[in-house]
């Protein structure tokens, strides 16, 4: 048992070191970066598409898409206008800092204003692996149910912003928003939250405004 | 790199051995068992509730619920009439055979006809850890999207039956059933599939009939 713990600790300490290096590179390049996490099918790629459509076209955007298989997401990000890089994790359930480093090597970073890293669809493992991005953003999805903050607390605790997607489905689903918000507030008080629908476009303007401010703050600092 | 691989291989070989032991115990007890896997919020606990409501009350059912935190699912299974055991994985992203063994120790197995093991909500990691149950059953969910077989092939490849839940949401979601089914057929030809809605009850009768046959076949063998 103690052997297992020490191996896991070593993996995390190496990852943290590589994440710090990634952070330094992104900072030096003046690029604002987001680690986008969610369950499978919560809408990570749809959000990237809508973000590219809504952002000032003067911003140059890179997307790094992590998946256990296929390049479906990177293809969609590329079609939406991003410079897209696919990471196939070979079955691994999260992106780690070393994978992100290899993907960053393929990009001319100072050319970009925004980097969107789409993590593997998973509410557990990605929370344990820092990547070195400026912000961690979680997408919750209405059909997942209102108990998810309670059941996946580590993910909700560690993020800097929360998007609640698929609010267009609220009329058809038993989802108690007060119960959901109470769980979020308990784990991450005052968390910046954006209820949106990638399908109807509702709420996307607030997200785009926040993101634009973050990008501009990064450039001026 | 080779060190990492050998540690992972060792973990899986120990797990396989414990899974074989679990399988022997369950067989000896004459109990039919299912490892139920799905994304967060796809409807594992709802299916357990509906299954308990629809099954012949003469069957005695045990439910073992794996979660990274809380006992919400075990409480729901217990209220629905199962003898419920909660496994809190302490942050781990799947149930392994050793955790299942500890949970089995708390049950008087020959008293039960059916064991439903609700794995942690995750489309990746549980596929790599055999538990020793008779069947692996995956729940897909309409709002997750029609590309999931392509993006999570290991999970779809290894299961013995597939439930497609939340079909009541089909009118409100862009979900191409032909594209989804094509992916499933490519990975797991002829897979037994049950399109259902835990909300409206549609399709549950076929699932209950199949499950009843499995339980009875186990008892007579």
pLDDT range class, residue B1, cuts 50, 70, 90: very low
Are B41 and A67 an interchain contact pair (Cβ–Cβ within 8 Å)? no
Compute the half-sphere exposure of residue B118: CA atoms within 13 Å on the CB side of its CA.
Answer: 35
Name which of A124, A140, A180, A187 to mutate to probe chain B: the one with the most chain B Cβ atoms within 10 A of its Cβ: A124
* Cα B208 from Cα B216, distance rounded (Å): 12
pLDDT in tens, B193-206: 999 999 999 999 99
Task: List the single residue in B with minimal CA-CA distance to A1.
Answer: B11
pLDDT of A181 > 50? The answer is yes
Beta strand A161-165 with A192-195: parallel, antiparallel or unpaired?
parallel
Give me the pLDDT at residue A1, please: 39
Are A148 and B72 an interchain contact pair (Cβ–Cβ within 8 Å)? no
pLDDT of B114 > 50? The answer is yes
ipTM entry:
0.90
Pick the CATH number of A2-220 from 3.40.640.10, 3.40.50.300, 2.60.120.860, 3.50.50.60: 3.40.50.300
What is the average pLDDT across B186-214?
Answer: 98
Q: Which of A72, A148, A169 sits opposite B41 (nearest CB)?
A: A148
Are A172 and B168 an interchain contact pair (Cβ–Cβ within 8 Å)? yes
- CA A216: distance to chain centroid? 19
What residues does each domain of chain A span? 2-220
What is the average pLDDT across A55-59?
Answer: 97
Q: Which of B67, B148, B199 sits opposite A41 (nearest CB)?
A: B148
pLDDT of B2 > 70? The answer is no
What is the average pLDDT across A31-45?
Answer: 97
pLDDT in tens, B62-112: 999 999 988 999 999 999 999 999 999 988 999 999 999 999 999 999 999
Q: Which of A151, A169, A173 sits opposite B67 (nearest CB)?
A: A151
What is the average pLDDT across A154-170?
Answer: 97
Q: How far is B164 from chain A (nearest CA, A)?
A: 14
Q: Which of B73, B153, B166 sits opposite A69 (nearest CB)?
A: B153
Are B143 and A147 an interchain contact pair (Cβ–Cβ within 8 Å)? no
Name which of B66, B143, B167, B182 to mutate to probe chain A: the one with the most chain A Cβ atoms within 10 A of its Cβ: B143
Give me the pLDDT at residue B166, please: 98
Note if the pTM is more than 0.90: yes
pLDDT range class, residue A219, cuts 50, 70, 90: low
Q: Which of A39, A151, A172 sits opposite B69 (nearest CB)?
A: A151
Give me the pLDDT at residue B91, please: 86
pLDDT range class, residue A9, cuts 50, 70, 90: confident
Give me the pLDDT at residue A218, please: 67
Is the Cβ–Cβ distance between A203 and A167 less than 8 Å? Answer: yes
Q: How far is A66 from chain B (nearest CA, A)?
A: 11
Q: How far is B19 from chain A (nearest CA, A)?
A: 19
Q: What percent of chain A has pLDDT over 70?
A: 95
* H/E segment holding residue B206: helix B204-220
**B95 Ramachandran zone, left/alpha/beta (phi>0; psi -120 to 50):** beta
Compute the mean pLDDT over every residue in chain B, rounded to the nearest whole number: 94
What is the average pLDDT across B140-152?
Answer: 97
pLDDT of B30 > 70? The answer is yes
Task: List the single residue in A with minimal CA-CA distance to B144.
Answer: A41
Residues of chain B neighbouring A169 (CB-CB closer than 8 A): 143, 169, 172-173
Residues of chain A neighbouring B40 (CB-CB closer than 8 A): 39, 123, 144-145, 148, 151-152
CB pairs under 8 A between A and B: 113
Q: Which two tokens stand for residue A153?
A: 């607390």
């Amino acid at each position: 048992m103690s052997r297992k713990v020490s191996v896991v600790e070593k993996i995390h300490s190496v990852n943290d070191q590589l994440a710090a290096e990634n952070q330094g590179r992104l900072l030096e390049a003046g690029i604002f970066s987001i680690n986008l996490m969610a369950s499978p099918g919560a809408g990570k790629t749809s959000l990237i598409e809508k973000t590219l459509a809504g952002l000032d076209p003067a911003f140059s955007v890179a997307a790094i898409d992590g998946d256990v298989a296929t390049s479906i997401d990177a293809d969609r990000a590329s079609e939406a206008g991003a410079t897209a890089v696919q990471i196939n994790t070979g079955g691994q359930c999260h992106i780690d800092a070393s994978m992100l480093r290899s993907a960053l090597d393929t990009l001319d970073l100072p050319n970009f204003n925004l980097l969107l890293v789409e993590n593997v669809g998973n509410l557990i493992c990605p929370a344990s692996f820092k990547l070195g991005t400026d912000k961690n953003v979680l997408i919750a999805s209405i059909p997942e149910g209102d108990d998810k903050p309670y059941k996946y607390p580590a993910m909700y605790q560690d993020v800097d912003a929360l998007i609640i997607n698929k609010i267009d489905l609220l009329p058809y689903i038993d989802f108690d928003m007060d119960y959901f918000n109470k769980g979020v507030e308990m784990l991450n008080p005052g968390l910046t939250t954006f209820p949106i629908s990638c399908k109807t476009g509702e709420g996307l303007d607030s997200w785009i405004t926040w993101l634009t401010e973050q990008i501009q703050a990064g450039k001026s600092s």
